[in-house]
Amino acid sequence: MKIANYNTNVYNTCFSWGACLPHLLRKVMIDCSNEFYQFNEFDKLINAFPNGPLTVAAHYSKGDAFFGMNSWVQAIDSYLESFKLEPTGKYAENAIESSYNASLELLDQNEYQLALLKFDSLINISSDKNLLGSLYYSKGDAYTGIKNWKLALKNYLRSYELDPSGKSAAKALKASYQTALMSLNENNFELAIIQFDSLIDVIPNGPLLTAAHYSKGDAFSELEDWKSAGKSYLESFRLEPDGKHAAKALMNVGMSLGKMQKINEACNILS
């Protein structure tokens, strides 16, 4: 059934808002099988009931319709419009969550720049630490997609700092380490050292910290800074003398000493 004209006086007189809203929205969602016609009907509702609960609901439902069509940007814009009108209303929390899910779809489709814009929009309006942790983690993924290792690491670490015990925390630390390794593998040794230091500053004790010190030693070795390399390898060994990097770390300490012509110390390490 086509909804052509909305008489706001009739609805205000005959129905409470609680009865009116579901009635109108249900007609649009059920009676309008054509998506483009459906959007037109939502727009009519929005224009007929400005600045009221129906407008909020219509924007949210319009977002759902766009989501169903895989129109992620339009879905996000509609959800956020709903949130902006009533940031503490009944649709607010779901609007933010749905916007994030649609932004993840952009990320999955390698629309990295668009995803970054939408993640930033959500960061600007959210105060939930769990969600913020996830948003910064996803920003890290987007920057990884465009091979901006510096900003990827920054966002992964921000994710961890916001929610160190949250669901994204362990992934954020692992992703931070992998990001620093990418700089090392691309021969950007100075940047890799800065990134490993950033990671070392926040990471708790464990295998990842040991690995970060070891890889930092590798970066210093490539720069032929043998003193700094030896210190990093030694710290890796000290943290986990029985760990997976221990034998190589100790050997590399000896090699670093040898490069500095400290032959006796090197022999003692390697013997």
Please spell the DSSP secondary structure of 49-104, one letter per residue: STTSHHHHHHHHHHHHHHHHTT-HHHHHHHHHHHHHH-TTSTTHHHHHHHHHHHHH
Picking from 19, 104, 18, 90, the residue whose alpha carbon sits closest to that of residue 61 is 90
Ranges of H-type helices in the chain? 8-14, 17-31, 35-48, 53-68, 72-85, 92-108, 112-125, 129-145, 149-162, 169-185, 189-202, 207-222, 226-239, 246-259, 263-270
Give CA angle at 124 (118, 125), nearest 5°: 100
Which pLDDT does position 46 carry in this prediction?
Answer: 65
| Structure tokens given for 24 | 């109108």
Q: At what angle do helices 246-259 and 207-222 cross, to 10 degrees?
A: 30
Query: What's the pLDDT tens digit per position in 210-254?
Result: 999 999 999 999 999 999 999 999 999 999 989 888 889 888 888
Note if the pTM is more than 0.85: no
DSSP 261: T
Which pLDDT does position 137 carry in this prediction?
Answer: 95
The residue ranges of the chain whose pLDDT is under 50 are 1-20, 23, 27-33, 37
- Token look-up 């021969």 returns 187
CB 132 within 8 A of CB 162: yes
